[in-house]
């Protein structure tokens, strides 16, 4: 029997006491704690097993919530917040002294976003302050896109009442937000691709060039350490080779395919959408389904690279396959 979800008010009261609440966003479920309470934030790191040098995203209920957390909010940031918030765009800005070091892994920047989910926004309003919200899964594992994924990942913590889950149904976006650095004397820099692409950002900034940052150039959530890994090894393959490679693997294979033929016999075939946004929404749940049959390997048909969403999907798949 699934545990009942707490009310928003109960969840907010719990957060006010320094406790943890998993909550839905449009991208993935977040592991929430009071962003201005260092001990509560440390509880997030402990529960996830997250390395302390991996900064967290801070969620705010509106653009007005950014002012106390950032040293400056320039015209670029205001334009992007006006255009994309609430939504799956995280802005990395110079942080104010109010933000605890533990949130930012000691860096001089803070990652901020306003989630586009009614339950998350109600929670932020009821709590009355900013919340950290890294993906609500053990560090390195697949991000959760529904409440049951969170319950599976943290069953022991829930049983000990270390965590409650605010159930808002399946996430619509399915992959994590775009992370964009807006720092003085630097061009806008995408640190992690997501559902909002560089062309959209450039258009909102009236044609300003948007660049892609190299790994480690600016401290950013979700760009260091292993992420997005199922238990079985993942291999990206062209559509024409899915059947051939499945036949060469000793044991059962699970495959996520778009155009490739279904696999025969004991193998599992999961057919994926051929449009970027629905594919992204389905991705993590599909990989979990594939992993649940304990396959010898998970084969994933290489998707197209025809849009920013597909580019973000390709980033996550590459990291699943490479262990980055």
**pLDDT for res 265:** 82
Query: Which H helix or E strand runs over 300?
Result: strand 297-301
Same domain, 205 and 287: no
For residue 189, give its domain range: 8-212
Q: Report the interhelical angle of 276-292 vs 308-322 (nearest 10°).
A: 20
Sheet strands side by side (includes 268-271):
234-237, 297-301, 253-257, 268-271
Task: Map residue 181 onto helix, strand or coil.
Answer: strand
Going by C-alpha positions, the residue among 59, 83, 50, 91 that lies closest to residue 192 is: 91
Number of domains in the chain: 2
Same domain, 309 and 190: no
Distances (CA, A) of 11 to 19, 195, 271: 9, 28, 37
Same domain, 83 and 120: yes
Enumerate residues 6+ apart whose C-beta is below 8 A from 176.
27, 28, 88, 135, 143, 192, 194, 222
Tell which of 157, 182, 212 closes a domain: 212
Same domain, 71 and 159: yes
Ramachandran sector of residue 56 (left: φ over 0; alpha: ψ -120 to 50; beta: rest): beta
Q: DSSP states of 89-120 as a string?
A: EEEEEEBPTTS-HHHHTT-SEEEEE----HHH
Centre a 10 Å sphere on the Cβ of residue 78 and count the other Cβ atoms it contains. 12
**pLDDT for res 213:** 80
Same domain, 244 and 108: no
**pLDDT for res 1:** 38
Strand 297-301 to 253-257 pairing: parallel
Task: Map residue 257 onto helix, strand or coil.
Answer: strand
Same domain, 63 and 171: yes
On whether the pTM is more than 0.85, the answer is yes
Same domain, 138 and 195: yes
Q: Which domain CATH number covers 283? A: 3.40.50.11030
Ramachandran sector of residue 243 (left: φ over 0; alpha: ψ -120 to 50; beta: rest): alpha
Q: Which two tokens stand for residue 182?
A: 């807006």
Residue 229 domain flag: no
**pLDDT for res 239:** 94
In tens digits, the chain (324 residues) has pLDDT values of 356 789 999 999 999 999 999 999 999 999 999 999 999 999 999 999 999 889 999 999 999 999 999 999 999 999 999 999 999 999 999 999 999 999 999 999 999 999 999 999 999 999 999 999 999 999 989 999 999 999 999 999 999 999 999 999 999 999 999 999 999 989 999 999 999 999 999 999 999 999 998 655 676 676 555 667 898 999 999 999 999 999 999 999 999 999 999 999 889 999 999 999 999 999 999 999 999 999 999 999 999 988 999 999 999 999 999 866
User: How does DSSP classify residue 68?
Assistant: T
Q: Which domain CATH number covers 186? A: 3.90.870.10
Same domain, 98 and 195: yes
Q: Which two tokens stand for residue 259?
A: 């155009």
Q: In sequence order, what E strands does 171-239 have?
A: 178-181, 189-192, 211-212, 234-237
Same domain, 198 and 57: yes
Residue 217 domain flag: no
Beta bridge partners of 32: 21
User: How does DSSP classify residue 151?
Assistant: H
Is residue 34 a contact partner of residue 40, using CB atoms and an 8 Å limit? yes
Residue 223 domain flag: no
**Runs of H (alpha helix) within 231-275:** 242-248
CA 279 to chain centre: 15
């Amino acid at each position: 029997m699934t545990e009942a979800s707490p009310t928003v008010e109960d969840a907010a009261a719990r957060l006010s006491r320094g406790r943890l609440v998993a909550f839905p966003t449009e991208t993935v479920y977040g592991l929430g704690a009071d962003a201005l309470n260092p001990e509560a934030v440390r509880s997030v790191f402990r529960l996830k097993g997250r390395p302390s040098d991996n900064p967290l995203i801070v969620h705010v209920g509106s653009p007005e919530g950014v002012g106390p957390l950032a040293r400056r909010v320039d015209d670029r940031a205001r334009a992007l917040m006006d255009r994309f918030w609430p939504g799956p765009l995280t802005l990395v800005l110079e942080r104010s002294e109010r933000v605890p070091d533990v949130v930012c892994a000691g860096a001089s920047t803070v990652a901020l976003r306003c989630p586009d989910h009614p339950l998350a926004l109600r929670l932020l309003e009821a709590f009355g302050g900013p919340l950290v919200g890294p993906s609500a899964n053990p560090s390195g594992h697949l991000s959760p896109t529904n409440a049951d994924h969170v319950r599976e990942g943290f069953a022991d913590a829930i049983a000990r009442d270390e965590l409650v889950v605010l159930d808002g149904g399946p996430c619509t976006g399915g992959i994590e937000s775009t992370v964009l650095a807006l720092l003085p004397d630097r061009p806008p820099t995408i640190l992690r691709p997501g559902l909002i692409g560089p062309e959209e950002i450039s258009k909102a900034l009236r044609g300003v060039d948007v660049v892609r940052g190299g790994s480690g150039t600016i401290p950013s959530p979700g760009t260091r350490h292993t992420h997005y890994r199922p238990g079985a090894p993942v291999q990206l393959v062209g559509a024409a080779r899915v059947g051939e490679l499945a036949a060469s693997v000793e044991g059962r294979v699970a495959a996520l395919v778009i155009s490739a033929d279904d696999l025969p016999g004991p193998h599992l075939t999961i057919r994926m959408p051929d449009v970027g946004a629905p594919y992204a929404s389905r991705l993590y749940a599909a990989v979990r389904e594939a992993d649940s049959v304990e396959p010898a390997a998970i084969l994933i048909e290489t998707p197209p690279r025809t849009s920013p969403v597909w580019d973000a999907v390709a980033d996550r798949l590459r990291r699943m396959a490479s262990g980055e």
